[in-house]
Amino acid sequence: MLMDPSAMVASTSSFYISVGCASGLIVIMTATATACYIRSKKSCRSNSKGDSSRGASDHGQTFLRVDTPNNASTTGSYSSFRRLTPLSINVPVQVNNLRASELTEQISEIDVERKNIVLYEKIQEGTFGQIYRGMLIETDNEITMKQNTFVKTVSDQASKDQISLLLAEGMKMYGTNHKNVLPIIAVCMDDVQHPLLVYPFMNRGNLKLFLQKCKFSVEGHCHTLLTQDLVGMAIQIVQGMIYLNKKKIIHGDLAARNCVVDDKLHVKITDNALSRDLFPNDYHCLGDNENRPVKWLALESLLKKEFSTASDVWSFGVTLWELMTLGHQPYVEIDPFEMGASLRDGYRLSQPINCPDELYTLMAFSWAAAPEKRPSFIQLLVCFQDFYNALGLYV
């Protein structure tokens, strides 16, 4: 059967045109579906963060964008807070590292013999770090003085690097003298493999552990903390940080775990010696062989390793959040490797249950991405004192 050649050409052309149109349609549909999928994923991510934070319970909390409505309340006397923040708090980036010779000299000034230190029960223990309740015995002009103390030391498993780190971080508060800062008062180097660092005793111990006991203990067995009590403790931490700021000391690891408290709710800021070992869940290594308190660090500290008074203000905001949640873990649902991206996108911790709007406002301002837009500790102190006095009017 023979066909007309011209008909065959027309038929072939129609076939290729049909195939081309079909292919083009498939490409367009694929591109449209891909775009919709990406858009829906972004939407789901945003919604999940918002929904989970709105439904946060005592056992979990995600984060909210700081610019979300009602997340930065400016009610009452705090309406003027934004007018305070333009004041510059640009502080040169500082690192409190001491040369080996300076560290050795400082240690020699407070070195005591082993016989002058008595160790009692063990209070905390990690993989290589240990904290004891102890007593420091000193003799001056034949007068014997005894002082209850904390004693930090290491176990047999500690490496030379860990011992060096203990000494370097333990001497951070050397020479300080303030009612809200816990200074190191003695060091014993008789056994260089097990140095003893001695601090004044605070009978309620670590602030983070104390807050958690208050949260979970049977009523009557521990303090029942009121909002005014928590604000009072926050004021003491701010006062201690103002003092350290004047001394040109950048803490770099401000958190509830690095504070101690007594039964009268007096709070003192401590150094961070042994904190990585005693609170391993608070520190993470992001592939650079350095354990850091990732979820307490300011954005510039996390991404650029830049530390200043402004970065301490950020960490204080997280510490305040710990106070208001009675020792809860911040950003508990967030992978440490995602913290930098999440903070850069503007996400922050959500407002704790029963936390007054005024206090969450101070947290939100402390977490401003730009260091110069965060309040200074002096500005925070003014706001806290005003709020504390206002609370007293209703008691």
For 89-101, how does the pLDDT look when each residue is reduced to its tens digit (9 = 90+)? 333 333 455 678 8
DSSP reduced 3-state for 65: strand
Domains of the chain by start residue, with CATH:
55-95+203-392 (1.10.510.10), 100-200 (3.30.200.20)
Residues 6+ apart with CB under 8 A from 235: 381, 384, 385, 388
The string of DSSP letters for 114-156 reads GGGEEEEEEEEE-SSEEEEEEEEEEEETTEEEEEEEEEEEE-T
Least Cα distance to 364 among 46, 48, 78 occurs for 78
pLDDT digits over 241-289, tens only? 999 999 999 999 999 999 999 999 999 999 999 999 999 999 999 888 8
The string of DSSP letters for 148-197 reads EEEEEEE-TT--HHHHHHHHHHHTTTTT---TTB----EEE-SSTTS-EE
Catalytically annotated residue among 51, 111, 229, 253: 253
Per-residue pLDDT at 39: 53
Predicted TM-score (pTM) of the model is 0.78
pLDDT digits over 351-372, tens only? 999 999 999 999 999 999 999 9
Contacts 24+ apart (CB under 8 A), 377-382: 377/238, 377/241, 377/242, 377/245, 377/309, 377/312, 377/313, 377/316, 378/242, 379/81, 379/84, 379/85, 379/87, 380/238, 380/313, 380/316, 381/235, 381/238, 381/239, 381/242, 382/84
Q: Which of the two residues, 294 and 72, has the higher pLDDT score? A: 294
DSSP reduced 3-state for 206: strand
253 as an active site residue: the answer is yes
